[in-house]
């Protein structure tokens, strides 16, 4: 029943909200990305809870989890694994890399060089990795949560468009409201008074990997009329035809938006997708995938305004 699935999704959201205060909508978006089996790029300034959100999401599922702190000296073999010669047996033995887990946190992903970034390409798209000509499947479910700081440029390597396109969704945390930040300090103070640890340390799993796979498999049962598909294509076509856009959104983006609309419908307790679901998810699915022309950036045109214009221009199906 759709109600049971919606209930489980909201239980997961409530669990994460015990750690990430005042950001329920952001958590809901991330949970929907998990529902779609999509990778998530969490982009914002330092100290607003990017890593806490990723860690809380991982802890809410009883899945294997690894955090990789990306730095300039991380090598591709550290990510994918490597073959090492064993002099006792006279054979090469495979040593698995850091990415071999169901949920992987790629912290500050833009701090590692392009050579290492490229090691994630096959892993994120195909769910497998190739080492010395041999392919190793990733565990299921498999999701990459990546964080990056968009305003810090010293010692960073911008993600190429082909890798950005592999991220199902990009979300931003934003600064907390006054009352939310005041509540955060109250919680911190009470933890110090009781000699307690961080709220994240006390967070427990509320769903299993089998639960997540079951939710992902059931997503195809959410009905989406052809009018919804045509509406999505109309939006991405408007983006591609925009004179300010140098690189429009890919067909992969259309598929991701279709799945995201289904996910939001399920989260909302419906077994069918509607245009409002597309409108809700479009900015988070499309904005990071388009590239503006240089003259458009000089005119202060943003991806947000381009996507908003496309949504306003596309005819809403009835």
- Domains in the chain: boundaries: 2-214, 222-313
130 neighbors 1 (Cβ within 8 angstroms) = no
pLDDT at 194 over 60: no
Q: Which long-range contacts (CB under 8 A, 24 or more apart) does 178-185 make?
A: 180/21, 180/22, 181/22, 183/21, 183/22, 184/21
Q: Comparing C-alpha atoms, which of 120, 116, 111 is closest to residue 71?
A: 111
CATH homologous superfamily for the domain 2-214: P-loop containing nucleotide triphosphate hydrolases (3.40.50.300)
Residues 6+ positions from 257 with CB-CB distance below 8 Å = 232, 235, 236, 278, 281, 282, 285, 286
For residue 309, the Cα-to-chain-centroid distance in whole angstroms is 24
Q: What is the pLDDT of residues 227-276, one digit of tens each?
A: 999 999 999 999 999 999 999 999 999 999 999 999 999 999 999 999 99
Q: How far is CA 62 from CA 34, 171, 208, 211, 266, in A?
A: 14, 23, 5, 10, 22
| pLDDT at res. 241 | 95
pTM: 0.90
pLDDT at 218 over 90: yes
Helix (H, G, I), strand (E, B) or coil at 147: strand
- What angle (nearest 5°) sits at the alpha carbon of residue 179, between those of residues 174 and 184? 75
| pLDDT at res. 90 | 84
- Answer whether 2-214 and 222-313 agree in fold: no
| pLDDT at res. 197 | 63
Give CA–CA dist 2/271, Å, rounded: 7
Mean pLDDT of 73-89: 89
Q: What is the pLDDT of residues 156-180, one digit of tens each?
A: 888 889 889 999 999 998 888 888 8
Residues 6+ positions from 156 with CB-CB distance below 8 Å = 110, 111, 148, 149
Q: What is the DSSP letter of 223?
A: B
Half-sphere exposure (Cβ direction) of 95: Cα atoms closer than 13 Å: 11
Give CA–CA dist 104/39, Å, rounded: 10
What's 222-313's CATH class?
mainly alpha
Give CA–CA dist 159/117, Å, rounded: 8
């Amino acid at each position: 029943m759709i109600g049971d699935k919606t209930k489980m999704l909201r239980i997961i959201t409530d669990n994460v909200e015990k750690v990430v205060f005042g950001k329920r909508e952001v958590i809901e978006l991330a949970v929907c990305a998990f529902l779609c089996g999509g990778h998530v790029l969490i982009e914002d300034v330092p100290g607003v809870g990017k890593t806490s959100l990723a860690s809380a999401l991982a802890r809410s599922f009883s899945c294997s989890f690894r955090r990789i702190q990306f730095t300039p000296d991380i090598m591709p073999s550290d990510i994918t694994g490597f073959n090492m010669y064993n002099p006792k047996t006279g054979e090469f033995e495979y040593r698995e890399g850091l990415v071999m887990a169901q949920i992987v946190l790629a912290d500050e992903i833009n701090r590692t060089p392009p050579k290492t970034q490229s090691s994630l390409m096959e892993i994120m798209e195909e769910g497998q990795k190739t080492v010395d000509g041999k392919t190793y499947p990733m565990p299921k479910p498999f999701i990459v949560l990546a964080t990056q700081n968009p305003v810090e440029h010293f010692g960073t390597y911008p993600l190429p468009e082909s890798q950005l396109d592999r991220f199902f969704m990009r979300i931003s945390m934003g600064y907390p409201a006054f009352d939310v930040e005041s509540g955060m300090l109250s919680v911190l103070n009470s933890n110090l008074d009781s000699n307690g640890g961080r709220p994240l340390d006390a967070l427990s799993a509320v769903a299993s990997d089998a639960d997540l796979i079951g939710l992902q498999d059931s997503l195809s049962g959410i009905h989406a009329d052809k009018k919804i598909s045509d509406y999505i294509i109309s939006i991405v076509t408007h983006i591609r035809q925009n004179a300010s856009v140098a690189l429009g959104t890919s067909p992969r983006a259309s598929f991701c938006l279709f799945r995201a609309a289904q996910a939001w419908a399920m989260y909302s307790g419906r077994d069918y997708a509607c245009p409002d679901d597309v409108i809700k998810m479009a900015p988070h699915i499309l904005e990071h995938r388009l590239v503006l022309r240089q003259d458009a950036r000089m005119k202060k045109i943003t991806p947000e305004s381009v996507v908003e214009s496309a949504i306003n221009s596309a005819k809403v199906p009835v």
